[in-house]
Structure 1
Amino acid sequence: MPFSTKTKDNAMLAIIASVAMLVSACSIYQRKEMVRKANPAMYFEIPVTDMKRAVAFYQQVFGFDFQFEEIHGNQMAFIPFELDGTGISGALAKGEIYQPSLSGTLIYLHAENIDNTLHQVQLAGAKVLFPKTRAGGYSYVAEIEDSERNRIGLMEPLP
C-alpha cells in the first residue's frame, strides 16, 4: 500500500528530527570529552614579600619580562603567557594574603637547561634544594628556594 504525501512528509520530519537529536547528542558528548581532556591547572600565583627583589630574581634566572598591575589591592607581576603556547602561566603576587612558603603548593617552571638555570639561581644568591634528577622517562627536575623563600620546581623535558 503506497504512503500518502502527508505520511511521507511526517516520516521525513521524524528522520530529520532523529538525525538532529543524534548530531546534538554527539556534539554534547564531544564537548564533554574535550573538557575532560583539558589539564585542570589554569593559573598560579607565587607569593612575594618584596616585589622589586622577586622581579629581579625571576628576570635574572628565567629572563622573564613582566606586566605589572594592581588587582583587588594586590601588586601583580604577570609572567609572560603565549596564547598559542602550551602550559599555563601566572604571576608574582604581593599582598596581605600572600605568604611565601617552603612547604606549600609546589609549582614547576619550564627550564630549557636545568644545569644553566641552577647556575643562574646560585648567581642570584638563592639555594638549590633538590639537585637535577631524572624523573622517569619524561624529564629532569630540580627544586630551588627563590628570593622570597618559596620552593619552586624546575622541569626540563627529555629530548
Structure 2
Amino acid sequence: MPRPIHFDLTADNPERAVKFYQSVFGWKFEKWDGPMEYWMCTTGDKDEPGINGGLSRKGDSGMPAMNTIGVANVDEFSKKIASSGGKVVMPKSPIPGVGWFATCQDTEGNLFGIIQEDKNAK
C-alpha cells in the first residue's frame, strides 16, 4: 500500500528555517548536491516511526510545501488519480538519480506528490 515517504517545506530564508527546525526539534539538515537549492532533512532514527523530508527556498524550486507518497509506477497512479476525480498538475518528470515525480491534487484541492524510485531517472 503506498504511504507518505517524504515531506517538503519551503522558506523565504532556508538558513533561518534550518536553524529553527534544528533548535526546536533537533532535526539534521544536509545541503543536497542536486540540480536545485535543497536541504535534505533527517527527523529521527531510521528505526523510529516517521518520515524524513526536505526544505527549499520559496519560489526557487516551484515546489509547494507538501507530502510525497511512494508509488510503484507514477504513470499508473497518475491515471488512478485522474479517474478518481483528482488532477495531475505537474506531469511526471525526472529527479536525476532519485526517480520519477509528479505533483497532484486531490478532490479537495490539496496538493501532494507521487514518486517512483529509479536511480537511473534523467
Shorter-chain TM range is: 0.3 to 0.5
TM-score (structure 1 length as normaliser)? 0.37
Bigger Rg over Cα: 1
Between the two structures, name the one with larger relative contact order (CA 8 Å, sep ≥ 6).
2
TM-score (structure 2 length as normaliser)? 0.47
Q: Give 1 or 2: higher helix fraction.
A: 1
